[in-house]
């Protein structure tokens, strides 16, 4: 890139970008999940990396929550006050948590895509202005 201007895709971590594109491939081509219902969006790489971060956050939250619930259930089993209602409650709680996170992700994608479109449009306009002004300075300097 000339003039030291970096685009957002250049600032992305390469392994996160690779994971995001691979995740989108698995989601769309292997699992055949429509783009509107998937966790990772089809659009620009920076948005895919952002969506991957959301998905990793979901997995971390669910694993932490599941570990705590498993410890509570094991403790209740060992001390003989195990209730099946508690196990069902934990299962329902995890499903509701996953469902609402999924809804927020799918609904939020509309806002994120609009913001990213405005951001990329603005950044390309600024980049063109900088390039034009640099060319003008070079012409004046050489003449």
Q: What is d(CA 123, CA 52) in angstroms, rounded to the nearest whole number?
A: 23
Residue 1 lies in a domain: no
Q: What is d(CA 79, CA 28) in angstroms, rounded to the nearest whole number?
A: 46
Q: Is the pLDDT of residue 60 over 90?
A: yes
Rg (CA), the chain: 23
Residue 19 lies in a domain: yes
> In this prediction, what percent of the chain has a pLDDT beyond 90?
24
Residue 80 lies in a domain: yes
Residue 16 lies in a domain: yes
Mean pLDDT over 70-93 rounds to 88
Residue 12 lies in a domain: yes
CB atoms near residue 96 (< 10 Å): 10
Closest alpha carbon to 73 in 21, 4, 81: 81
Residue 17 lies in a domain: yes
Q: Is the pLDDT of residue 112 over 70?
A: no
Instruction: Give the mean pLDDT of the chain.
Output: 78
Closest alpha carbon to 47 in 112, 107, 105, 91: 112
Q: Which domain holds residue 18?
A: 7-142
Residue 117 lies in a domain: yes
pLDDT at 82 (0 to 100)? 80
Q: Is the pLDDT of residue 6 over 50?
A: no
Is this prediction's pTM over 0.95? no
Q: What is d(CA 72, CA 87) in angstroms, rounded to the nearest whole number?
A: 10
pLDDT in tens, 21-32: 999 999 999 999
> How many domains are there within the chain?
1
> In this prediction, what percent of the chain has a pLDDT beyond 70?
69
Q: Provide long-range contacts, Cβ within 8 A and 24+ apart, for 107-111.
A: 109/41, 109/51
Residue 2 lies in a domain: no
pLDDT at 83 (0 to 100)? 84
């Amino acid at each position: 890139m000339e003039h030291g201007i970096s685009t957002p895709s250049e600032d992305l971590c390469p392994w996160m970008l690779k994971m995001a594109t691979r995740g989108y491939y698995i989601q769309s081509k292997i699992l055949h999940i429509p783009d509107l219902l998937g966790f990772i969006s089809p659009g620009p790489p920076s948005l895919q990396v952002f969506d991957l971060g959301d998905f990793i956050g979901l997995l971390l939250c669910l694993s932490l929550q599941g570990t705590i619930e498993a410890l509570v259930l094991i403790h209740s089993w060992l001390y003989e006050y195990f209730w099946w209602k508690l196990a069902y409650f934990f299962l329902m709680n995890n499903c509701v948590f996953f469902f609402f996170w999924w809804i927020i992700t799918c609904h939020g994608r509309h806002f994120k895509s609009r913001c990213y479109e405005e951001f990329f449009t603005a950044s390309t306009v600024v980049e063109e202005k900088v390039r034009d002004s640099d060319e003008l300075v070079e012409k004046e300097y050489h003449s």
